[in-house]
Chains A and B, each alone.
Chain A
Amino acid sequence: MAVDVATAGAGLPTRRGRGPRGRAGHRAAPYVFAAGAAVYLALFTATPLLNGLWLSFTDAKLLDPTGGEFVGGDNYGALLSDPRFYDSLQVTVIYSLATVAGSLLAGTLAAVALNQAFRGRALARAVLTFPWAAPTVAVSLIFVWIFNNDNGILNRLTAAVGLGRHGWLTEPGWALPAVTAVSIWKVFPFVMLVVLAALQTVPQELYESARVDGAGGYVVFRRIVLPHLVPTLRVVALLMTIWSLRRFEIIWLLTQGGPVDATNTVVIDVYREAFVNSDLGLSAATGAIGLVLSGIATVVYFVLERRAARKEAQI
């Protein structure tokens, strides 16, 4: 049945025809809709956040979290004068960059592959989504066994092909790559699913006309697919960066920040100070610096997005 576009909206209130009450209601609508989320955020995010920031200026202990006294910037001073903190920052940045880059690359490649038509595609999609769906604790414990020096399957494989045995989680040179590899394996399906969804929005005609013009696979990807993916990849990169900066379980379960602090990220320090050393004040100060890191990642994202928008406007 054909629809008369000109009359399809008849009966709906129009901006011009709305009375004063309608206009007030219209103005209030966004606030009403946002109120629930705002109250939730105020209660469960802003309040703990502010409490955490306050704690960072106190000497509160885990066994007496409300009994801390104000110590000014002592916790920040102690933190910033401790060389190990800078080591943790360095490990955090390296781990996050490597995890984001690795998961973006693996996720995008997997998405492009799964966007092709082939037999068993549905099964392949399910299998590749598995790491994201699997419980992190179980996965981490399995990887502890995979990396085991004596009985781990990885060392059996490397020994069989003449690459020798390595202390994947016990040698400082191998631990960070091993933890990063597990993290990438765990999170790349998220990138894959998002990119796959974005790929399916690329108009088919663009592929067809490019092929008619004689473009090969690489050129099609570079000139047609990638420009469509860039905005999606930017958002995913922001999310992955924030998640990587605050990732805890995988690192804690595999190495607890060792060996020799080789995998000791800022979040591990936050946990250790709070729950091992019971120093909530120092832990909260470490967390506040972690927050600054997340903030920097967010600002970088917006600067890049602004530049891209400006470029697009010029075109």
Chain B
Amino acid sequence: MARRLSRLAAATAAAVLALAGCGGGGSGGSGGRPAAEGGELVFANWQWLEPNRGDQIWQAVSAYQRANPKATLKQQAIPRGDYESTLKTQLGARGGPDLLIIPDTFLPELGDSGILEPLDDVLDADRRKALNATNKGGMYKGKQLAYGWEVVNYALFWNTSLLTQAGVRPPTDMPSLVAAAKAIKDRTGQPGFAVRHQIREETPWWIDFANWPYGFGGGWSAGGKLTVDTPENVAAVKAYKQMYDSGAMAVGDDASTFRAKFKQGKLGMMIDNSSALYTMVNGNTTLPSTGVGAAALPFPTPRSSQAGFFVGVNKNAKNKQLAKDWIRWFYGADAQDKAAAALGASVIGTDARPPASFVTANPWVPVFQKQAANSAGAVVAGFESKTPQIRHAVLTEIEKVLVSGEDPATALKRAQQEAEKVAGK
């Protein structure tokens, strides 16, 4: 019996390996060393991995080393899909990079946890004066926790050659979008349209998908209440489903797959952001930038989603003073001009613009820049820190509409109830 018990205990010990434990702790550095003494600045950003554009941005930010020769900058490149979870693990352990790019959907969580160094007193009066409205998004609960890095806007864009081959004109509304996608598929054999549509890309899908409810006059909240199941949102989901069912959409492709197809000239149209488009056409000889057309989203209203990104300082940074000095340097006029040139079609934290030659070489840029006036972020206003849970509840129901044929109105009603439950209201 004792032997059997000991064997049972041994096997149970093997089974407990199934449960992973979590640890934490460790105190952060004081970051008290003066910036003039230099040191190493670790800078986290997924954009370091973007072909061509990543190098350009790195050149722009690491020019700081000329202003402060004792400083060195080091990349921490994390793939976009794992960015938040990787940083949360590091920051929760009181470690992590000195400087980090913060997606707008991530800022509330970081703000609530007190993990970001307030930056209200970092910039002098001249630099503060140069900041534009995008920096309001870096404020949380009255504190400037981050400054504007870039706001990327969305538009409909297309491969002009494929549209010509298919004999269709750029669409201006939903019926013409679906018809054009079908024509491209039928006449060229290539998918006519692509957009994110799967829960396995949940975080970016949420930002991309927001184009549809916003474009149909809806949204996720108003007046402190969730508005998931409004008629406008139902209409948006119906339109989205119509496109999904058209047989012309690249169903099953994640963004990296359909972007690769577009880059190779094997995809007709997309709804995506300016940053993605620039990465696809930059240095591309198969589909050069001049071979792409763009227009505002073909939806009933001019509103659209935007992805806002900010740059902040880790409160537990090893070189906090140096990181703040970098922020001070970066929001100077010279650095902003270089950043504007590197970030391309994005709206950055000041009114610095990319050079005219950039716009000439990329004729679609003004379409995205114009969209800034009508775009809004995907954080659920009034429910900022609950956005991830609301996002999962809503996208799970939308996925049911797409793949299980659920009625959009019923699905959004369920999503509304679930979102209210997870939001605690």
Contact = CB atoms under 8 A, between A and B. Distances in A.
Interface string B60-101: 000000000000000000000000110011011100000000
A132 interface: no
Contacts, number: 148
A245 B18 contact: yes
A302 B4 contact: yes
Contacts of A257: 199-200
Contact of A276 (B388, B396, B400, B402): B388
Given A65-B92, A258-B199, A275-B85, A298 B252 contact: no
Interface stretch (B6-14, B50-58, B221-229, B275-283): B6-14
A65 B200 CA distance: 26
B22 interface: yes
A47 B21 contact: yes
Interface residues of B, number: 50
A291 B89 contact: no
Given A256-B202, A277-B389, A290 B18 contact: yes
A284 B22 CA distance: 9
A302 B202 CA distance: 42
A302 B18 contact: no
Given A62-B88, A149-B251, A261-B396, A52 B20 contact: yes
Interface string A54-93: 0100000111111000000000000000000000000000
B17 A45 contact: yes
B198 A259 contact: yes
Nearest to A261: B396
Given A148-B257, A287-B20, A63 B92 contact: yes
Contact of A65 (B17, B24, B109, B252): B24
> Which of A62, A299, A302 gathers the greatest number of chain B CB atoms within 10 Å?
A62
> Which of B4, B20, B199 gathers the greatest number of chain A CB atoms within 10 Å?
B20
A49 B13 CA distance: 11
A227 interface: no
Interface size class of A (residues with CB under 8 A): 35 or more
Interface in B165-224: 191, 198-200, 202-203
Given A51-B21, A278-B88, 13 more contacts: A45-B17, A47-B21, A52-B19, A52-B21, A61-B92, A172-B403, A255-B200, A277-B392, A278-B109, A287-B20, A291-B19, A294-B15, A298-B11
Interface of A: 41, 45-52, 55, 61-66, 144, 147-150, 167, 169-172, 238, 242, 245-246, 255-261, 270, 272, 274-278, 280, 284, 287-288, 290-291, 293-295, 297-299, 301-302, 306
Q: Which 9 A-B pairs have CB atoms at the shortest separation, nearest pair first?
A: A48-B21, A65-B24, A149-B252, A256-B200, A258-B199, A63-B113, A275-B85, A294-B15, A52-B21
Interface of B: 4, 7-8, 11-25, 84-85, 88-89, 91-93, 109-110, 113, 115, 191, 198-200, 202-203, 250-254, 257, 388-389, 392, 396, 399-400, 402-404
